[in-house]
Amino acid sequence: MGLLSFLNFSRNDEERGIGPTTLNLLKVLIYLILILVVSIYLNIKLFSLTLRLYGSSSLVGSRNTKNRKKFIRSLLSSRNNQTDEVEDNGYKIIGFFHPYCNAGGGGERVLWTAVSLHQRKDPTQRTICAIYTGDIGVSKLEMVSKVKQRFDIELDPQTLILVPLTCRYLVEASTWPRFTIIGQSIGSILLGYEAFTRLVPDIYIDTMGYAFTFPVFKLLANVPVGAYIHYPTISTNMLERVSKRDSSHNNNSTISNSFILSYLKLFYYIIFAELYSLCLRQADDLMVNSTWTKNHIVRLLQPCYKRHKPQESDNRATSASTIIPQPIEKIDLNLRNRHHQKSSLNSNTADRIVENSIEVKVVYPPCDVMSLIRFPLLPRSSIILSISQFRPEKDQRKQIEAFSDFLKRSLTLEDEKEIKLILAGSCRGKEDEDRVDELKKLAKELGIDSRVEFRVNVDYRELKDLLKSSLVGISTMVDEHFGISIVEFMAAGLIPLVHRSGGPESDIIKSDDYKIEEQTGFHATDYKSYSEKLDQIFNNQCKRSDKNRRKESFKNLNDKFVDHQKEQEQEEDEMEEDDFRLIEMRKRARLDSVERFSVQNFETSWMDWFIKLEKKTETKNK
């Protein structure tokens, strides 16, 4: 399915009244888009060449030398070393672009795990990790303490620099109420330039998904650029959703109900996808967090007319025996010869770095599974636990609606009065806090506010206590890029109930598409299917708790009820078998989490990837 196929809306051409003239006009518009994108690229290259020819790099180098010495001097001062004369020789600065490094989510776990890894790998303290952050009100010691409290990750402040960014508001959605994606991307260019003027690192790594910063560091400083991509800024799924006129958090009903507005938004997305692709191709190498993300990034790196819909056969969870995932692709992405694409290469060619190519490698995020697998599977409280930031795409509203529907259909459950839903997560700012208030209001309107609890900005110790006592872990985000909290559910022994899309479907949870003896959780889509799965899970649990009580009641029956008792015991054996399947599912999920999603696996894969970037630094400096 190429670019033109996105113009096929859910209704046929005759119903929409689209004639050949209109279709020809649309094709002309597409060609104009391609011409626009090519011209932008040529101007960028011309600008970069001009800067290099006329000595801009020496000006940048002079300013950066002063900044580097200033930061190094501050670190040496904290070590009680002499700082009168600071020599920059031998110090390597790794720049991590992460404006929201204090947010406390899964992306921040990736960032701080990587930072801690680099600090431990260099006992000489010559490797310095510089974090470009917009949390200017948070000191370094406060940040280190917060990371320890939230993630249980140890950081060394003596090799850590926080580079303050004052223009973070430029990448906030509230700054761009209209044309949000392109607005935030333009804002990220300006924010990236601010980071560039404050400190140019030896290696630049974006860990938050701001691809529009890549050209800033690549074209102005020519430093190696890498990224860990959690989620593509735009995906073929988003294009398809607009083309089908489906409503979602990023495609409101006003647009989806309008034929003209939907077409205009589709063209807007197509233009943006081309610009995003240009920026992605400024990177030297890329890491992605799931097969789902890899598929979309690889397609975005291809010419627009070759971007095909992902094959469903690719979207399957990796077997438990696979520790390091296999999907590694090398694609010829020469910016001057983009239309030529090499055939897909298997993982055996991963060590061959082809000139003018980008490696897209799947590296699962680090999950603290080892501290969670010690939790006993029994007993557990009747708690449904949600762990996610309170952002619109997380769709916690669906969790509350599903829980309400489940309670209505499950009034006969013996333990119904004990069942409750706990939503734990962090808030990035006032928008997220207002969203929590809206969710509380929804729970009250549905009459279940006494059964729904909100735990906002919980520390890691409290989070582990919740994981230890809960029975079901729920996630409702559509096209979740990966889902660290889902892996935490698995390791802690919860029953995962997640959305049938994105990383949870392709990489993490094995559901009813697999044999019963291979399943590790449940998938659902709308609130009704979530409610049905909850009913299935809790009915099995309550049947188990009822068994002893019911057997006791049969002890005093007369002989005339013996046949009925045997029939009842047979039914109870079937109930026990159902519960046994859930226990075995939880054991499989726990084993799977250790074998594929541990911190150790992440660190090994990260360092393998980073060494290649490091070699490019050495090559550049020769």
pLDDT score of 380 more than 50: yes
Most confident of the ranges 30-39, 189-198, 563-572: 189-198
Lowest mean pLDDT of 352-356, 386-390, 565-569, name the range: 352-356
Strand order of the β-sheet with 522-524 is: 452-456, 420-425, 383-387, 472-474, 495-499, 522-524
Task: State the pLDDT at residue 259.
Answer: 72
Give dist(CA 153, CA 276) in Å, integer.
33
| Residue 188 to residue 195: CA distance in whole angstroms | 10
Q: What is the pLDDT of residues 215-247, one digit of tens each?
A: 999 988 888 999 999 989 987 777 777 767 666
Question: Quick check: pTM over 0.75?
Answer: no
Question: Can you tell me the mean pLDDT for 482-500?
Answer: 95
The answer, yes or no, to whether residue 50 has pLDDT greater than 80, is no
Q: Please report the domains of the chain, with CATH numbers, ordered by start residue.
A: 88-230+599-622 (3.40.50), 383-597 (3.40.50.2000)
Residue 505 gets which letter from DSSP?
Answer: I
E strand or H helix that includes residue 431: helix 430-445
Contacts of 100 (CB under 8 A, 6+ apart): 107, 108, 133, 134, 135, 168, 208, 428
Nearest-angstrom CA–CA distance, 397 and 248: 13
- What confidence tier does 350 reach under pLDDT thresholds 50, 70, 90? very low
> Cα Rg for the chain, rounded, in angstroms?
27
Worst-scoring range by mean pLDDT, 345-349, 515-519, 586-590? 345-349
Contact present, 381 and 453 (Cβ < 8 Å): no
What is the mean pLDDT of the segment spanning 105-117? 94
Whether 478 shows a pLDDT value over 70: the answer reads yes
Backbone angles phi, psi at 230, to 5 degrees: -85, -30
